[in-house]
Amino acid sequence: MRFECPLDNSVSHRLPLVMTYIAAIEALADPTRRHIFESLRSRPKNVGELAASQTVSRPAVSQHLKVLQQARLVTVEPHGTKRVYAIRSEGLEELRSYLDSFGTDILAAFAAEITLRQTNN
């Protein structure tokens, strides 16, 4: 028998989003990986172009790009014999949504406190 859970604010409903932002945070926690990611800010690049501006080897850059791709922060497209990497804007949106939730929670707590103080006065 399969258990069906309605879509709501439960942990299981939010699990895909949780896993996405956790992977993004973990991927960007590494300074080298973050520098590689930031190198894609201006335009998509292939591994050779990215490796030229890094202090690590080309194979290491490839491994870092693999982690960024698994974290859904970059996309990769084959162009002939090269693979071109670009920032995945949806991956940043997922991370931004998570970070924005802190502001929303803080504002909600502030509104609740004001309401409580107005009720008590």
Choose among 28, 31, 32: nearest CA to 74.
28
The model's pLDDT over 37-82, given as tens digits with 9 standing for 90+, comes to 999 999 999 999 999 999 999 999 999 999 999 999 999 999 999 9
Structural domains of the chain ordered from first start: 12-120 (1.10.10.10)
Angstrom distance (rounded) from CA 89 to CA 104: 22
**Are 36 and 53 spatial neighbours (Cβ–Cβ below 8 Å)?**
no
Residues 76-83: contacts with CB under 8 Å, at least 24 apart? 77/44, 79/46, 82/46, 82/47, 82/48, 83/46, 83/47
Model pTM above 0.85: no
